[in-house]
Amino acid sequence: MQTEERRQQDHKIRKDFPLLTEDIAYLDSAATAQKPETVIDAEAVFYKQYNANPLRGLYQLSVEATNRYEEARECVRAFIGAASTEEIIFTRNATESLNLVAYSYGMHVLREGDEILVSIMEHHSNFLPWLQVAQSSGAQVRFVECDGQGRITEERFRAALTPRTKLVAMTQISNVLGCLNDIALFARIAHENGAVFVADGAQSVPHIPVDVQALDVDFLAFSGHKMLGPMGIGVLYGKRALLQQMPPFLYGGEMIEKVTRTGATYAELPHKFEAGTVNAAGAYGLQKAIEYMQQIGLETIQEREAFLTQYAYAKLRETPYVTIFGADDPAEHHGILTFRLEGAHPHDVAAILSDSGVCVRAGHHCAQPLLQHLGVSSTTRASLAFYNTTEEIDRFVEVLQTVRRKLGHAE
């Protein structure tokens, strides 16, 4: 694509995002994405036009609210290729989705002697719930590690599985290395081994097409706020047969069929897992986010992100004293560049970048086992989305090149 054409595309996209002005270079989309106007407005529209408690009222307004909520569920279903809306559960975020699986599935099914296999690159959200399940059930957590390029090979995966492995939890894209794990392959191998496969899609669903039936995962968790949607709405996909066997996660209103003094029967899927008043406005906003992504086009999103990643990788690579973690091939980074600048602590790097309006993340990125594996206690991470520009990357790298001097190092 020609530079001029790209500029026009930049402009066209960025005018939809009120927060993306000249003042900042927002390079922290892996933490949370910026929101287009239609998403920001959606919640206001919901509260102005449709607000009533969904799934409850018998009057027209409540029916409207229920319709918006259920339309959003259908939108999510189609977006990830699920077989039925019964398989789409709204939660607060990926973390809650993963906890739901851990508590309602893991705690009930896993037994002493069983093994849970997690990858070393899991976000704490897809690790700590399993540690908890292990502690209560007597099951054991085992790790599959990645190589120096951040790759989990088929060989490594097979070697980490044992006949006792009953559950595998793995992220599709690492929030630190940016690498894409071959979830379809690993899910197939896990199934042959008799294990259930839980995928964390928090970093993948916002950036690449994800089809749960093609991947054949048993569960997939992701967050609305990382895919242009509002904070406070997330999704758990689960295969119907598994969800049906599972007991509820939270108990209370909206998730029951009949309650007596001594017990209750529970609502059908997906409501069995959505106790209490739901975040209907958030779901409506998430639908608008998905529609916006579809309007831009997932192909355009991927093309732009691949281009920007390549551009940023090359620039960072040329910067003296910088070490980038993960693969040597930028195509394997999916917008995520985690690095160290020699002689500068990541928190100082982020603070100095911040003086010039450059927003990056510094720290352990909620993936401490991975950082220990990499032999560092903290790193700096720049993460890109399709709405970023080469100008933002230039600004980032220019300021990065001044950091060592600002910290008192001679050139």
Ligand X SMILES: Cc1ncc(COP(=O)(O)O)c(C=O)c1O
- Residues taking part in catalysis: 366
Give which of 247, 219, 203, 243 is closest to 130, Cα–Cα.
219
Q: Smaller CB distance to other proteins: residue 263 or 408?
A: 408
Which of 156, 188, 240, 345 binds other proteins (CB under 8 A)? It is 345
Query: Angle at the Cα of 124 (from 123 to 130), degrees rounded to 5?
Result: 110
Q: Which stretch binds other proteins (CB under 8 A): 150-158, 206-214, 241-249, 346-354?
A: 346-354
Q: Smaller CB distance to ligand X: residue 54 or 335?
A: 335
Indicate which of ligand X, other proteins, none lies near residue 49 (CB less than 5 to 8 Å, by partner kind).
Answer: none
CB of 95 to other proteins, least distance (A): 17
CB of 362 to other proteins, least distance (A): 8
Residues in Cβ contact with 99 at an 8 Å cutoff, skipping those fewer than 6 apart: 129, 249
Determine, following the binding rule CB under 8 A, whether residue 409 of this chain makes contact with other proteins.
yes
CB of 149 to other proteins, least distance (A): 24
Which of 240, 357, 394, 401 binds other proteins (CB under 8 A)? It is 357
Interface residue list for ligand X (CB under 6 A): 93-95, 123, 125-126, 171, 175, 200, 202-203, 223, 366
Q: Identify whether the C-beta of residue 384 lies closer than 8 Å to the C-beta of residue 29.
A: yes
DSSP character at residue 390:
H
Q: Smaller CB distance to other proteins: residue 172 or 379?
A: 379
Name residue 361's beta-bridge partners.
Answer: 381
Which of 8, 159, 347, 398 binds other proteins (CB under 8 A)? It is 347
Q: Identify whether the C-beta of residue 249 lies closer than 8 Å to the C-beta of residue 101.
A: no
Question: Could you write out the three-class secondary structure of 114-131?
Answer: CEEEEECCCCHHHCHHHH
Instruction: Return d(Cα 255, Cα 276) in angstroms, integer.
Output: 7
Strands of the sheet with 196-200, listed across from one edge: 88-91, 234-238, 219-223, 196-200, 165-171, 115-119, 140-144
Give which of 152, 177, 207, 204 is closest to 324, Cα–Cα.
177
Determine, following the binding rule CB under 8 A, whether residue 411 of this chain makes contact with other proteins.
no
Indicate which of ligand X, other proteins, none lies near residue 380 (CB less than 5 to 8 Å, by partner kind).
Answer: none
Determine, following the binding rule CB under 8 A, whether residue 70 of this chain makes contact with other proteins.
no
Indicate which of other proteins, ligand X, none lies near residue 302 (CB less than 5 to 8 Å, by partner kind).
Answer: none
Give which of 293, 168, 171 is closest to 222, Cα–Cα.
171
Indicate which of other proteins, ligand X, none lies near residue 200 (CB less than 5 to 8 Å, by partner kind).
Answer: ligand X
Q: Smaller CB distance to ligand X: residue 380 or 389?
A: 380
Q: Identify whether the C-beta of residue 68 lies closer than 8 Å to the C-beta of residue 46.
A: yes
Indicate which of ligand X, other proteins, none lies near residue 165 (CB less than 5 to 8 Å, by partner kind).
Answer: none
Determine, following the binding rule CB under 8 A, whether residue 351 of this chain makes contact with other proteins.
yes
CB of 363 to other proteins, least distance (A): 6
Determine, following the binding rule CB under 8 A, whether residue 364 of this chain makes contact with other proteins.
yes
Q: Smaller CB distance to ligand X: residue 168 or 267?
A: 168
CB of 408 to other proteins, least distance (A): 3
Q: Smaller CB distance to ligand X: residue 30 or 306?
A: 30
Q: Smaller CB distance to other proteins: residue 224 or 346?
A: 346
CB of 67 to ligand X, least distance (A): 27
Which of 378, 390, 394, 401 binds other proteins (CB under 8 A)? It is 378
User: Pairing between strand 336-341 and 322-324?
Assistant: antiparallel
Q: Which residue has the tokens 């939108």?
A: 75
Report helix, strand or coil for 223: strand
Q: Identify whether the C-beta of residue 56 lies closer than 8 Å to the C-beta of residue 410.
A: no
Burial of residue 12, with CB atoms counted within 10 A of its CB: 0-12 exposed, 13-18 middle, 19 or more buried: exposed
CB of 311 to ligand X, least distance (A): 23
CB of 180 to ligand X, least distance (A): 12
Instruction: Return d(Cα 69, Cα 170) in angstroms, integer.
Output: 29
Q: Identify whether the C-beta of residue 46 lies closer than 8 Å to the C-beta of residue 282.
A: no
Determine, following the binding rule CB under 8 A, whether residue 342 of this chain makes contact with other proteins.
no
Residue 8: C-alpha distances to residues 13, 14, 15 (Å): 9, 10, 11
Q: Smaller CB distance to ligand X: residue 301 or 336?
A: 336
Which residues are at the interface with other proteins (CB under 8 A)? 23, 344-348, 351-352, 354-355, 357, 363-364, 377-378, 406-409
